[in-house]
Amino acid sequence: MSEFWLDMLVVVLRCVFSVAFVMNIVPLMIWGERKGAAYIQDRPGPNRAPIDLPNPADLPRLLSAALRGEPLDYKPVVSLRAAGLIHTLTDVVKLAFKEDITPDHVEKFYWFIAPVIAMSIALCTFAVVPFGDSFLGYNLQVSSLDGGLLFVLAMTSLGVYGIMLAGWASNNKFSLLGGLRASAQMVSYELAMGLSAVVVFLSAGSVSLAEITRQQGEALSIFGLVEIPALNWNVFSPFGLLAFILFWVAVFAETNRTPFDLPEGEAELVGGYHTEYSSFRFALFFMAEYANMIVAAAVTATMFFGGYNVPLFSGAFLRENADMVLAVLGLGAIPAFLGLAVVAWKRRGRPFYAAIPSDDPRRNEPAFFTAVWLGAAAAHGGLGVAGLMGGLTGLSALVGVEGLGADLLVFVLHVSSLGVKVLIGGWIFIWVRWTLPRMRYDQLMNLGWRYMLPIALVNVFCAAGWIILRHELFA
């Protein structure tokens, strides 16, 4: 394979990975939103929709029936409900197969492209977020654009078109008001968002997200006394902390989340800009909101919380000690998975299981999950033992942890680190939504223009002054 095609393949793989990263967290966030809302409101939340698994012995018969196009009838052995995770799947099926209604009074062309714009802009923004340091010498970032963070700001400012067009093309006053609210609010908060990002540019001396992340992987020195490896996060400086708070508030306004979700204020605007949408067009708006949240959390994590960096362990350290890292992680995961297995097994004692008939397939769910967690414990134990053997004997080429293996391990760790940070950010979105009431429109504008913008400006000047002062004093 020639160099050119290999490069093309890498480009395609990077694009596929970053889209998959965002789109796979979307259902998880929707599930978290429902469960989180339920627990905050003291109710159990979604827990009914099942997937009925057939007996493995029936599989050949079912497969041939499916190929012949006959109905599949089988007696399920396990009815898997997975704490409500299946609800997201059923939602997708429902939205995909619902009738797609196009009202007569809409401006067809703009009405059709609005959800497409909303979704594609949300996914494009992730292109400049690095999700690992390098893999066999390739950058782990779709585009290593020089103006990385500016690209994020440019894309968020384009994101407003989807909502605006949806509101206008729907051709009714409630949707139009929703679209107008969204555009006014997003334009207002972009300023505070951009200015708080300037603090990060100043301290990093670069606008490239890859460079900003790399610098945050260096050691954090506290007055030159203590050095903490791989924890030089921007949030650990006074200006960075203030910038993070401003940025995070602005992100809530940009993603139209509570307390700033006036564009879809259901009490006064029916459903806001997406009132006229049904079926999968509505689903696109719905997914775009979650994709925007995930991308915003990823950008925030990259700017202020070290991005893909694992706290306390630099990429170089992890690569050098790949065998021992694998051993510690693999063996350390065994007790965690065993604990999960015990928890799953103990669920059999719940009153629910006494109340259903003894041949109900839902009875077998705890046993199924116990088996899953035991299997995971065994798999991680195997990896851990392999790492330990490699580390102790120095024959790590035998277990594949060198070069490719080490890069693969570091890649998994970096992606997981970014993923965990994104999930924490996503949880804060959910937490705030079910805790705070919606703001009034004048309060929203006051907060943006009279408080956040001046504070962000002062913060930029103070940070710039401090950087010059530090340069004069210490260098």
Partner 1 sequence: MIESVLFYLFSLVAIVAGVSVITQRSPIASALSLVVCFFALAADYVMLDAHFVAVVQVLVYAGAIMVLFIFVIMLLNIRETEPAAMGQLTARSGGALLISGLLGVALIAVLDSVVHQTPAELPAEYGTIKAIGEALFNGTYLLPFEAVSLLLTVGMIGAVVLAKREL
Tokens 């493995």, located at residue: 56
CB of 387 to partner 1, least distance (A): 42
- State yes or no: residue 168 binds partner 1 (CB under 8 A): yes
| Member of 38, 83, 180, 376 binding partner 1 (CB under 8 A) | 180
Select from 141-149, 212-220, 229-237, 317-325 the region that touches partner 1 (CB under 8 A).
Answer: 141-149
Instruction: By CB under 8 A, tell whether 193 contacts partner 1.
Output: no
Q: How many Å apart are CA 131 and CA 308, to the nearest integer?
A: 6
DSSP 54: P
> Taking CB under 8 A as the rule, does residue 10 contact partner 1?
no
* Closer residue to partner 1 in complex, CB, 260/411: 260
Q: What is the distance between the alpha carbons of residues 116 and 292, in angstroms, rounded to a whole number?
A: 14
* 146 near partner 1, rule: CB under 8 A: yes
DSSP 426-468: HHHHHHHHTTSPPPPHHHHHHIIIIIIHHHHHHHHHHHHHHHH
User: Which pair of structure tokens corresponds to residue 249?
Assistant: 């508030």
CB of 228 closer than 8 Å to CB of 220: yes
Residue among 130 and 419 whose Cβ is closer to partner 1? 130
Beta-carbon neighbour count of residue 52 at 10 Å?
13
Q: Could you tell me the CA-to-CA distances from 360 to 76, 82, 312 in Å, in that order?
A: 9, 16, 49
Concatenated DSSP letters of 296-352: HHHHHHHHHS-TTPBTTB-HHHHHHTHHHHHHHHHHHHHHHHHHHHHHHHHGGGSHH
Using rule CB under 8 A, residue 273 touches partner 1: no
- CA–CA separation, 287 vs 289, rounded Å? 5
Binding-site member from 23, 53, 83, 184 for partner 1 (CB under 8 A): 184
- Residue 16 or residue 154: which is nearer to partner 1 going by CB? 154
Question: Measured between alpha carbons, how far is 246 from 405 in angstroms, rounded to an integer?
Answer: 41
Q: Is 262 in the site for partner 1 (CB under 8 A)?
A: no
Q: Which stretch binds partner 1 (CB under 8 A): 82-90, 176-184, 299-307, 352-360?
A: 176-184
Give the amino acid at 407: D
What is the Cα–Cα distance from 148 to 255, expressed in whole angstroms? 20
Residue selected from 77, 153, 270, 445 as contacting partner 1 according to rule CB under 8 A: 153
Please choose, out of 175-183, 322-330, 373-381, 402-410, the segment that lies near partner 1 by the rule CB under 8 A: 175-183
- Upper half-sphere CA count for residue 458 (Cβ side, 13 Å): 9
Segment interacting with partner 1 (CB under 8 A) among 42-50, 95-103, 155-163, 421-429: 155-163
Three-class secondary structure of residue 71 per DSSP: coil
DSSP bridge partners of 80? 51
Smallest gap from Cβ 125 to partner 1, in A, equals: 12
| Least spacing, CB of residue 473 vs partner 1, in Å | 23
The only residue of 29, 80, 142, 160 in contact with partner 1, by rule CB under 8 A: 160
Can residue 269 be called a binding residue for partner 1 (CB under 8 A)? no
Strand partners, 52: 79
Query: Considering the complex, what minimum distance in angstroms separates the CB of residue 386 from partner 1?
Result: 43
Q: What minimum distance in Å lies between the beta carbon of 227 and partner 1?
A: 29
- Pick between residue 93 and residue 187 the one whose CB is nearest to partner 1: 187
Q: Is 176 in the site for partner 1 (CB under 8 A)?
A: yes
Pick one of 93, 154, 378, 424: the residue that binds partner 1 (CB under 8 A): 154
85 touches 31 (CB < 8 A)? yes
Hey, which residues does 222 pair with through a beta bridge? Answer: 226
Alpha helices, DSSP H only, in 83-143? 86-97, 108-125
C-beta of 102 vs 171, nearer to partner 1: 171
Task: Supply the minimum distance, in Å, between the C-beta of residue 154 and partner 1.
Answer: 4
Q: Tell me whether residue 98 or residue 105 sits nearer to partner 1 (CB atom).
A: 105
Overall residue count recorded for the chain in this entry = 475
Say how many residues touch partner 1, by CB under 8 A: 27
Per CB under 8 A, 150 contacts partner 1: yes
Rounded Cα gap, residues 80 and 426, in angstroms: 26
Which three-class secondary structure state does DSSP give residue 153? helix
**Residue of 32, 167, 217, 405 that binds partner 1 (CB under 8 A):** 167
- Applying CB under 8 A, among 26, 78, 118, 164 the residue interacting with partner 1 is 164
Binding mask 101-140 for partner 1 (x = CB under 8 A): ---------x------------------------------
- The reply to whether 158 sits near partner 1 by the rule CB under 8 A is yes
Options 145, 202, 334, 389; binder of partner 1; rule CB under 8 A: 145
What span, in angstroms and rounded, lies between the C-alpha atoms of 385 and 470?
49
Binding footprint of partner 1 on the chain (CB under 8 A): 110, 145-147, 150-151, 153-158, 160-161, 164-165, 167-168, 176, 179-180, 183-184, 186-187, 190, 207
